[in-house]
Amino acid sequence: MVRPFDIEEIFPEVSSGSTRRGRRQSDSSAQGLTVTLIADYTASTRAWLPSAAIVALLGEFGVTNGAARTAISRLARRGVLEVNRHGRYSTYRLTDGAAADLSNGGTVIATVGVEPAPWDGSWTVVVFSIPEQERTRRRTLRDHLRWSGYAPLYDGVWISPAPLPPQERAALAAAACGSVTVLRAQHQDLEAEVDRNPAEAWDLPGIAKEYERFIDKWGALLPRIAAGSVTSAAAVRARTEVMNVYRRFPVLDPMLPMALMPPDWPRRRATEAFVAIYDGLLQPAQDHIRAVVARMTDGPCPDIQAHTVADMAAGVRRGPA
């Protein structure tokens, strides 16, 4: 499975060692920005982009030429991007596996603000026992569970309110490599101080603060977007950055029905701000991306096509080209 993004962007604590953590987060941030930028304008077409255009666009975010080229190279080695070389001239596009993963992820992102289906009160419980010395195996399983929306109730007990879909069973089995048990169960309240509610596996106050920070920062941009004063490179930066932040919420938020969340849970307000910015800046951002790429290709770029949140909900991916 191709994972275009690094789980450490969302959960930096999964990395150990301060120097290593700082370096990995810096590398991951540049790669994550690159993936978001490319996916937002080529996910439906898998258009080839000149490396020089990608570097120039990343430069508008303050990424140096060297860091941009390193990010592109590492994404290619990871199987996220594929390269087409013509002498010293190189173009890149999303691999089919990365495009499929991003399309699936986009569908999830686009439904964050939609009220979840009625919940039966049952939890999917994944219980595993992996020796501490098998750290790579433990990390692989934990990363898989985090990406799938699970949270650790205890060290070897991870939970999610969602049922385990049939198509996810093989992926979980492969990540666990044995020593795992999956249950679908309901919480029995002990009515005692020692009882821990399963929802406490998530840091709900911390998630609420993340939502509020998102609303405060990006909501301030809405009047300027309505006035049409955010254009060109600024439109691309805002649209890319708002996606780069908002795409973390489906992993952070347990997505329980609003009635079961703390009062005034800010999920819906954050979604409204995201849609207004992402869709509202589509045209000026697409125009700027096309202009930058056209300078490198000496021609129009009809394959560069931005998509709306509604497009993501419907699935923006086309077949492999």
pLDDT at 201 over 90: yes
pLDDT at 273 over 70: yes
3-class state of residue 10 by DSSP = coil
Task: Please write the tens of the pLDDT for every residue from 103-142.
Answer: 999 999 998 888 777 889 999 999 998 887 888 888 889 9
pLDDT grade for 194, boundaries at 50, 70 and 90: confident
Q: Hey, what are 129's tokens?
A: 């026992």
99 has pLDDT over 80: yes
**What is the pLDDT averaged over residues 33-53?**
95
- Count H helices, E strands: the chain? 13, 7
As a whole number, the mean pLDDT across the chain is: 89
Asked if residue 12 has pLDDT above 80, the reply is: no
Higher pLDDT, 93 or 316: 93
Integer Cα distance of 315 and 219 in angstroms: 27
DSSP 97-154: HHHHHHHHHHHHHHTTTSPPPP--SEEEEEEE---TT-HHHHHHHHHHHHHTT-EEEE
pLDDT tier at 317, thresholds 50, 70, 90: low
Instruction: Give the pLDDT score at 82.
Output: 97
- 88-92, 145-149, 273-277 — most confident range: 273-277
Q: Is the pLDDT of residue 27 over 70?
A: no
In degrees, rounded to 5, the angle at the alpha carbon of residue 217 between the alpha carbons of residues 214 and 220 is 125
Q: What is the pTM of this model?
A: 0.88
